[in-house]
Structure 1
Amino acid sequence: MGSVQSIEFILDKMMDMVGKSKEEIFEIGEESRNEYDNLKRELSDIQKKVIKMIEQSERTELHSRFARNRLAEVSKHFSHYSDTEVREAYEQANDYQVKLALLHQEEKQLRDRRNHIERRLMKLGETMERADHLINQINVVINYLTGDLQLVSDMVADAEQMQQFGLKIIHAQEEERKKLSREIHDGPAQTMANVMLRSELVEKILDQQGVEKARIEIRDLRKMVKDSLGEVRRIIYDLRPMTLDDLGLVPTLAKYIRNAEEHTGISISFKNIGRERRFPANMEVAIFRFVQEAIQNACKHAAPSEIQVKMELTDKRVTAIIKDNGKGFDPLLKKEGSFGLVGMKERINMLDGKLSIDSKPGKGTLIMVQIPVSPHGESE
């Protein structure tokens, strides 16, 4: 009886220690979440300030340009102006230059702070993830000490799988939103701000320099709008290429690869073997996203000079091969926080396909996927 009581006493102590450890880890996680939320709000404010700073800098640059032109006019016809006018022209040009320098310095400070916050957010995210993981592990210990081991093992396996799956989805969504936000901010939003300033400039030029000068500015303005429209269409295409539904997999891939080659400056070739045909929509989307992900990974991480994409369509399977001559990597080493290959494997597994990766550091990378075609899989 004494042995039983001793064991119960030890278990109670262990449970108490484990419970306290869990509370401490939970507090660390909550503190990290609070700091994370505060930094996210600060980051949002800084991003807004950066946009305003850019707009203010552009307006100041415009005024500075006019002041410099005025100074050049006064200097050229010095004898036509009084000493006061010459001095005012010089001081005004100098003031705008000083203001512009200060604005650039402030913008740089804001960008540095933004970069620091983004790095801090990344580390806090890792801390929260580790805290959640540790709490899950502690829950495993608690369940093990108080219940059936086999039941706990099944519960932990299911919970861990669901947690990891959910984390990957959330991570992928946040990364996609961040990428889309950055593309819109650095592209169309920036251009629209410039269009607003240039439209104001056109009015002033029309009043001050005449119709011909205004027409030149309007042509530049039209080009900016055209470029912005192209950027918006590219972003929409990346989200969901319409040609995939209308024309099918091969024409869509060919168009995407042409655009990717033009956008990156990397030589990307595409070759299709076999009769072009339609496949189920989920299969076409999965293959397109697989090729897209492989090309983007190569361009982003491998620094290749050439990428080759090959498609082979038969009655039994679809084979896609992406080969690059970049830096390569060790497929056995898992890079923490990277879900590129995981996402590829999940897409292919849903279609009962096979994925193989052949890569070595300094030797480039070859990725091949084979997806079976069901007898009734072709769409008419």
Structure 2
Amino acid sequence: MGNNDRTLNYIIEEMIDTVKNSKDEVFQIAEDSRKEHENLSKELAILKEEVAIVIDEGDQLDKNAKLARQKLSTVSKNFHQYSEAEIRKVYDHAHHLQTELVVTRKKEKNLRERRDEIELRLKSIEQMVERAEGLVGKISIVLNYLSEDFKQVTDLIHDAQEKQQFGLKIIEAQEEERRRLSREMHDGPAQMLANIMLRSEIIDRTYKKGDIDNAVQEMRGVRKLVRDSLHEVRRIIYDLRPMALDDLGLIPTIKKYISTLEDQHPNIHFSYKSFDQRLDSQYEVALFRLIQESIQNAIKHAEASEIKVNLDITCDRIFVGISDNGKGFDQSQKKEKSFGIIGMQERIEMLGGDVRINSIVGEGTQVFFKIPLNQENIHAN
């Protein structure tokens, strides 16, 4: 490696450290804002209850003060019928009620102002969190590009134009994937958890009022929300990386993945030959993603009605064949989405394998790839 390469790697490492620190700082700002939002939301709920109580107290005091003033007016007109002590008592009572009314209305005004301030602050915090989340997503894309793609820049200069386009497409795909994940988290678990927090506050207030039946009913609803949130989180995690891949291995995970597609696509046939031993994690992850991407391409792009997946693992090689009866494509023409094929080739080449794709318009597509193995890549269960 020349001096230029070492200098470039040093610059890239410095950039990566700087971007990581920036990402951590933005994330911490978002977390602190969320905590402040939670605390202010609780304070706002309490304030709203206090405002309602103070309004009721003020209205009642207003009625009592009016009655006291009427009584005082009657006594004043007929003062000769009352003793001095009685007149003073009526006057003191009316004055006391009027003073309490003024104090209560002042308290109501202060509470309303504090409530309005908190509501404005909550809106500001929500906007800040949204901007911070957007920045974290963008920084993550930059960080991923720096740490993964730039370090291979020496190898990527071969066929520079195609590699550049592929890199840009990868960044677009990563950004879109992060947008999708952000939307799923915001519309799914985040909304559910926010609802759970709100419902738990309602349960607390209901229980304190002694309404046990309604409190128990609300708790049942919260329990269902928790179950739904857990299910949604597990689904998102599985999309990112199936936990079954680590626990059960490659073939059970492929079966599980295909079973999740049965509702929308029942005609996926999976056949395999393999031994009982496990492959290195990088091989299992790569094979699962390659098969997953090939199936998704057949469903979404080829609009296939039948898909066949064949996996054959021996002690010295892996062979995979995926065929579909979809609409196929003209291999002589470069498609906008051909970066998917390039990405597949890149993944297979990293494992020392090769890929072959056959497709005819109207007659489906066949994808074959072969990856060499040695004993170092195979482990006992």
TM-score (norm 2): 0.50
Q: 1:270 to 1:337 in 2, by over 3 A?
A: closer
Structure 1 stretch displaced more, 325-334 or 348-357: 325-334
Aligned with 2:378: secondary structure? Answer: coil
Give the CA deviation at 1:260.
3.6
Give the CA deviation at 1:287.
0.8
Give the CA deviation at 1:266.
4.0
- Higher normalized contact order (CA 8 Å, seq sep 6+, divided by chain length): 2
Letter in 2 for 1:279: L
Structure 1 stretch displaced more, 227-236 or 318-327: 318-327
Map of 1:147 onto structure 2? none
Give the CA deviation at 1:341.
1.6
Matched, 1:292 2:260: no
Aligned with 2:254: secondary structure? Answer: helix
Q: 1:182 to 1:325 in 2, by over 3 A?
A: farther
Give the CA deviation at 1:253.
1.9
Cα distance in 1 between the residues matched to 2:270 and 2:227: 28
Map of 2:176 onto structure 1? 175
Map of 1:368 onto structure 2? 368
Counterparts of 1:79-228 in structure 2, within 5 Å, are 159-160=160-161, 163-164=164-165, 166-196=167-197, 198-199=199-200, 211-212=212-213, 215-228=216-229
Alpha-carbon contact 2:166-2:342 (below 8 Å) kept: no
Alpha-carbon contact 1:276-1:313 (below 8 Å) kept: no
Alpha-carbon contact 1:304-1:327 (below 8 Å) kept: yes
Cα distance in 2 between the residues matched to 1:219 and 1:296: 39
Cα distance in 1 between the residues matched to 2:262 and 2:174: 26
Map of 1:316 onto structure 2? 316
Q: 1:367 to 1:227 in 2, by over 3 A?
A: farther
| Count of residues in Structure 1 that have an aligned counterpart in Structure 2 | 234
Give the CA deviation at 1:363.
3.5
Map of 2:233 onto structure 1? 232
Q: 1:260 to 1:162 in 2, by over 3 A?
A: same
Alpha-carbon contact 1:268-1:306 (below 8 Å) kept: yes
Map of 1:344 onto structure 2? 344
Cα distance in 1 between the residues matched to 2:338 and 2:231: 30
Q: 1:185 to 1:335 in 2, by over 3 A?
A: farther
Letter in 1 for 2:230: L
Matched, 1:277 2:277: yes
Structure 1 stretch displaced more, 281-290 or 308-317: 308-317
Map of 1:261 onto structure 2? 262
Alpha-carbon contact 1:266-1:307 (below 8 Å) kept: no
Alpha-carbon contact 2:328-2:361 (below 8 Å) kept: yes
Give the CA deviation at 1:231.
1.8
Q: 1:158 to 1:227 in 2, by over 3 A?
A: same
Alpha-carbon contact 1:312-1:320 (below 8 Å) kept: yes
Q: 1:211 to 1:363 in 2, by over 3 A?
A: farther
Letter in 2 for 1:344: M
Q: Deviations over 1:122-148 (max 9, x none)?
A: xxxxxxxxxxxxxxxxxxxxxxxxxxx
Q: Deviations over 1:51-88 (max 9, x none)?
A: xxxxxxxxxxxxxxxxxxxxxxxxxxxxxxxxxxxxxx
Cα distance in 2 between the residues matched to 1:347 and 1:187: 32
Give the CA deviation at 1:193.
4.0
Cα distance in 2 between the residues matched to 1:179 and 1:331: 30
Cα distance in 2 between the residues matched to 1:274 and 1:201: 56
Alpha-carbon contact 1:318-1:372 (below 8 Å) kept: yes
Give the CA deviation at 1:356.
2.4
Aligned with 2:320: secondary structure? Answer: strand
Give the CA deviation at 1:196.
4.5
Cα distance in 2 between the residues matched to 1:327 and 1:210: 63
Cα distance in 2 between the residues matched to 1:274 and 1:240: 22
Letter in 1 for 2:234: R
Cα distance in 2 between the residues matched to 1:364 and 1:209: 68
Q: 1:188 to 1:274 in 2, by over 3 A?
A: same
Give the CA deviation at 1:346.
0.9
Q: 1:316 to 1:216 in 2, by over 3 A?
A: same
Give the CA deviation at 1:340.
1.9
Cα distance in 2 between the residues matched to 1:181 and 1:286: 24
Gaps of 5+ in 1: 1-154
Aligned with 2:377: secondary structure? Answer: coil
Cα distance in 1 between the residues matched to 2:246 and 2:236: 17
Query: Greater Rg, structure 1 or structure 2?
Result: 2
Alpha-carbon contact 1:297-1:340 (below 8 Å) kept: no
Map of 1:244 onto structure 2? 245
Letter in 2 for 1:235: I
Q: 1:302 to 1:254 in 2, by over 3 A?
A: same
Aligned with 2:358: secondary structure? Answer: strand
Q: 1:156 to 1:236 in 2, by over 3 A?
A: closer
Alpha-carbon contact 2:249-2:278 (below 8 Å) kept: yes
Alpha-carbon contact 2:166-2:339 (below 8 Å) kept: no
Cα distance in 1 between the residues matched to 2:193 and 2:325: 39
Aligned with 1:315: secondary structure? Answer: coil
Cα distance in 2 between the residues matched to 1:156 and 1:239: 30
Cα distance in 1 between the residues matched to 2:304 and 2:201: 44
Q: 1:195 to 1:272 in 2, by over 3 A?
A: same
Cα distance in 1 between the residues matched to 2:173 and 2:268: 26
Map of 2:74 onto structure 1? none
Give the CA deviation at 1:309.
2.4
Q: Deviations over 1:271-319 (max 9, x none)?
A: 2223233222222221111011112223332334443322112233212
Q: 1:275 to 1:334 in 2, by over 3 A?
A: same
